[in-house]
Amino acid sequence: MQNFTYTVDKDGIATFLFDVPGRTMNTFTESAVADLDAIVAVIREDRVTGAVLASGKDNGFCAGADLGELGETAGAGLTGDALAAALKGSSRMSWALRAIETVGKPVVAALEGIALGGGFEFALAAHHRVASSRAKVGLPEVTIGLLPGAGGTQRTTRLAGPRAALDLMISGAPIDAAKAQALGLIDAVVEPGAAIAAAKAWITGGGDGVAPWDRKGYQMPGGPYTAEGAPVFMTAAAQIHAKSYGNYPAQKNIARCVYEGFGLPMDAALRVEARLFLATQQTPQARAMIRSNFISKQALAKGAARPAGVPAYTVGKAAVLGAGMMGAGIAYVQARAGIETVLIDTSQEGADKGKAYSAGVIEKGIARGTTTAEAGDALLARIHATTDYAAIAGADLVVEAVFEDRALKAEVTRRAEAQIGTDAVFASNTSTLPISELAGAAERPANFIGIHFFSPVDRMELVEIIVGKETSPETLAKAMDYCRALKKVPIVVNDSRGFYTSRVFETYITEGLEMLLDGIAPAIIDNVGRMTGMPRGPLELADDVAIDLLDRIAGQRRVDFGLGDPNGGTDKVLVDLVGAERLGRKNGKGFYTYAKGEPKRLWDGLADLYPVTVERSTPELVETLKRRLLYRQAIEAARCMDEGVVTAPRDADVGAILGWGFAPWSGGPISLIDSVGVAEFVARTRAFAADHGDRFTPPALLERMAAAGDSFYPAPKAAAAA
């Protein structure tokens, strides 16, 4: 065995410790799956009376399958021998776990820390599960477009019942040990560090080595023809579609696994699951989600775009200029990462208020049990709130997070730069102003870079690093090391107006406003927006961002390009709403009205400003509007690539998904173009341009790729074991 070690104690109990060499966390690689056969062989030895499955690592049991090894899965349409080979490979772990389950001796999983995906399926194949109170378990496969393919859909249903099993698998969210025990997925919860001892005690106390469903006469509770189960099975498809709008084949296939496998003998049920797993694995959504949401995201988090040859840079002390919402959030994540942080504001009251944000986050963490008072006190001690720029002296990095005003940013840049060394990095958190222009106020523009955080900083994973015209490779490498220390996922873009994320995100809202001007009913616009897989419709999202902020950005763009005041178009919509003091959610009035204690509702006066000519939707209209909203963003992303703002498809895709929630099922806007086919996408957007304007005209890059038959990503690999 390459990934497990084991010992056999005086009672004949074999304890297998899962410990993948060279990895900080256990995952199921192909070699780890192969080791399962050896585990079964050991358990079958006469000297062994039972087995305990545990982890040799301190941070958890197993995080799931190694998706980096899985890679991009095979395309649809496999037949004959190719289909049989793919099915055999993708179901290998399922049958290995079934061999453990039917080995004939009691097997117990002892869980400390996390057991997710294939790791939890490993535990479910045991006859008994003991978890420490700090353990978390779950089946998150749906978040990368897959379904549990090693018995998870069948064993969770038999243990927890159809409703709870569907909720667990379709959400993909992990649950704690106490909830898992309440659902019947965990048999006992113990203090941290006591799981192995409790597992052995269960075996010596007469633990049974036969799963309930392998006993003669077993019948599953809550079936589709019972009073308890009928409502679950009758409404499952509708409930899934209501939340996913059919964008995620994995969710539908999870429900099929539960329904079609219900009541079958386990071996037959596993064959149902295996077929549906392979079918799901081959969908465009799964291929795109695995690539962007896992492989590309992991690579970027590890600094894949970092310039080579630059020594690692450690930020021991950093300063944040501006203690508003963004500055306060940046200060918190710095202090959380162990960085001594100076938080500067124009008044001591403002600086203290910014530090109080961290105190509030810590209080919530203590209430949830995710941190302790001692850890919180240590974090707060690392934040020095002040108005004194002299406190910045010795900082390795400074982040400017003041109001989006060029003159103000120039002033704080000069004041802070005077306090730091010649090797220190100066970063601006601007979301729209060109970095090369802001660097004009710096004495050392080679050390100047953009580091655009997203709000709320403590929860958003993405950071957009913007390279100015004079930014050095050393500064970029240092900025990436800083982001990695904060456990953020950085994408690297070149300087331009709006950079990448703000520029492309804005097109989603703007296209919604174009639809409003076209006479489409606002309810249709926002409903279709959600149907695309975006987190909110464009109008409600405009309210969330703040209409006056969008108006200021549009106004600054008109000034910069000498366009004058708007006499129509989407800019005029923003001007009209601001004139009516409808600023969005923040003042309770925008495209929607937000009455306290009541659900939001569309503003009655909106139709007076923008008369509705399309009051009812049709399937054809819905499809057209969905494409307009998604394709408009995809075109802008492709333009950014054409102009060299973004140089790698993975940065564009990961940045879109993490930055503004671009339809995760698609893998991102560049993956969306690939899935449609570049030539077909160009044809469709040309037609949109003819009907709706030049904003849909495909950039030259797409025209060249369409003519050459190219795609952004290489062809998928052959199907591999999950």
127, 128, 384, 452: the catalytic one is 452
Residue 385 structure tokens: 């709130």
Determine contact, residues 116/62, Cβ cutoff 8 Å. yes
Contact between 94 and 117 (Cβ < 8 Å) = no
163 touches 66 (CB < 8 A) = no
Q: What's the Cα-to-Cα distance from 54 to each of 17, 62, 68, 95, 196, rounded to whole Å? A: 5, 9, 23, 20, 7
133 — phi, psi (to 5°)?
A: -65, -20
Give the distance from CA 314 to its chain's centroid.
27
CA 451 to CA 482: how far, in whole Å?
10
Measured distance CA(465)–CA(475) in Å, rounded:
11
Q: Give the distance from CA 411 to its chain's centroid.
A: 37
DSSP string, 385-414: EES-GGGGTT-SEEEE---S-HHHHHHHHH
Cβ 77 vs Cβ 40: under 8 Å? no
Strand order in the sheet with 340-344: 383-386, 340-344, 317-321, 397-400, 425-428, 448-453, 462-467, 489-494
Q: Which two tokens stand for residue 704?
A: 């060249």
Sheet hosting strand 136-138, strand order edge to edge: 60-62, 114-116, 136-138, 175-176
Only one residue has tokens 């601007």, namely 430
Residue 691 one-letter amino acid = D
DSSP code at position 187: S
| DSSP character at residue 518 | T
What is the helix (H) or strand (E) element at residue 176, kind and residue range? strand 175-176
Inter-CA distances, 329 with 133, 157, 357, 458, Å: 30, 41, 7, 6
Q: Does residue 566 have a cis peptide bond before it, meaning omega lies within 30 degrees of 0?
A: no
Distance of CA 661 to the CA centre of its chain: 9
Backbone angles phi, psi at 462, to 5 degrees: -80, 145
Q: Give me the sheet containing 107-111, strands edge to edge.
A: 4-8, 13-18, 50-55, 107-111, 128-132, 188-190
DSSP three-state, residue 115: strand
**DSSP state letter for 490:** E
One-letter identity of residue 56: G
Report how far Cα 4 is from the mean position of its chain's Cα atoms.
Answer: 31
Is 384 an annotated catalytic residue?
A: no
Torsions phi, psi for 64 (to 5 deg): 120, -160
Largest CA distance in the chain: 87
From its phi and psi, is residue 25 left (phi > 0), alpha (psi between -120 and 50) or beta? Answer: beta
Helix axes 522-531, 538-545, angle to 10 degrees: 90
Closest by CA position to 318, among listed 491, 410, 453? 453
What pairing do the DSSP bridges indicate for beta strands 13-18 and 4-8? antiparallel
Residues assigned a catalytic role: 452
